[in-house]
Amino acid sequence: NKSHSTAYGYVTYQTAYLKANYPVEYMAALLTANSGDTDKVQKYLSTCMSMNIQIEPPDINRSLVDFTPLERNILFGLSAVKNVGQGAIACILAARESGGEFKSLADLCDRVDLRAVNNRALEALIYCGAFDRIQPNRHQLIKDLELVYDWAQFRARDRASGQVSLFDWGGMTNSTQSNNSFDSAPKAASVDDFPQSEKLRKEKELLGFYVSDHPLKAVRQAAQIMAPINLSDLGDRSEDTLLSAVVMLTSIKLVTTKKGDRMAIITIEDLTGQTEAVVFPKAYERIGNLLVEDTRTIVWGKVDRRDEQKLQLIV
């Protein structure tokens, strides 16, 4: 009715105004509101890319709970990282608020409650790139964590038991002691960083998306020549349109038909979006051994619109 139409029109005007005049804040709010829906977040991340809004990985010294607008960029929130619970986030933010930025992994471990920020949460933060501004070598941090975590737990037990250090006898303040204590933390032997492909795979696993980079960026120009179709364009294609696209194969679900034949439902994505593709038994016989998760590939298929709620490809 008229009242509903007026209300919807007003809301549409408001959102259009916000998107046009406060694009970074608007997209950050959209990402936060839909953070539990991977498909929608992927769609909005693609929109950010088209609007020249850069999405930054989580940062242990800058990230808040949710997606945060930073001038022309949007910073991932800590709540978006798998295996990092609300208790851990609250503990990290409180320590940062009271003691300032963390200088190192050891500094953080020494200042937070490790019962809340456990080893699993710290590994997740390292793997997703949250410590990159402090130490870009994620492999080194993982190795250091094996030693630093036990060291910080030992210090926490000492504090809990009331043991004092020479700094206390000298009248040094708690904040000064905390700022210097991590200098004595153990360090692992130097190691090379993980390969870029491994770093991106971990980001995808923990954030649901590639953030610091994307495996297809390196082949973007070649992809546009070999297969100039973007997945975000599928909605404009008619039923049974034949096309090809350069994509990342991000997940594979194997299915056995009633006749006992094998087929697969795969999830593919490019720099603009993602969709599902169905590999029926005859096609699976030919290409089944070529389907490997987290690899770049070219898919040939046709658009399927039989399900009005979902657009997919038939490979």
The string of pLDDT tens digits covering residues 80-118 is 899 999 999 999 999 999 999 999 999 999 999 999 999
- At residue 8, the pLDDT reads 80
Q: What is the pTM of this model?
A: 0.79
Q: How many domains does the chain have?
A: 2
- At residue 176, the pLDDT reads 45
Residue 64 within any structural domain of the chain: yes
- In the chain, the amino acid numbered 68 is T
Each residue's pLDDT tens digit, 162-216: 765 555 444 444 444 444 567 788 999 999 999 998 999 999 899 988 888 888 8
**Residue after which a domain boundary falls, among 174, 207, 240:** 207
One domain, residues 181 and 222: no
Residue 29 within any structural domain of the chain: no
Write phi, then psi, for 162 (nearest 5 degrees).
90, 10
Residue 95's domain comprises: 53-207
- At residue 172, the pLDDT reads 44
Those residues with Cβ within 8 angstroms of residue 225's Cβ, 6 or more apart along the chain or in another chain: none
Average pLDDT per consecutive 10 residues, the chain (315 residues; last block may be shorter): 77 87 93 82 80 92 95 92 95 96 96 96 97 97 96 89 56 47 85 94 89 85 77 78 87 93 91 86 92 89 70 69
One domain, residues 94 and 222: no
Parallel, antiparallel, or unpaired for β 54-56 and 73-75? parallel
- At residue 311, the pLDDT reads 61
One domain, residues 121 and 172: yes
CB 207 within 8 A of CB 80: yes
Tokens matching residue 220: 């973007």
One domain, residues 230 and 295: yes
- At residue 235, the pLDDT reads 76
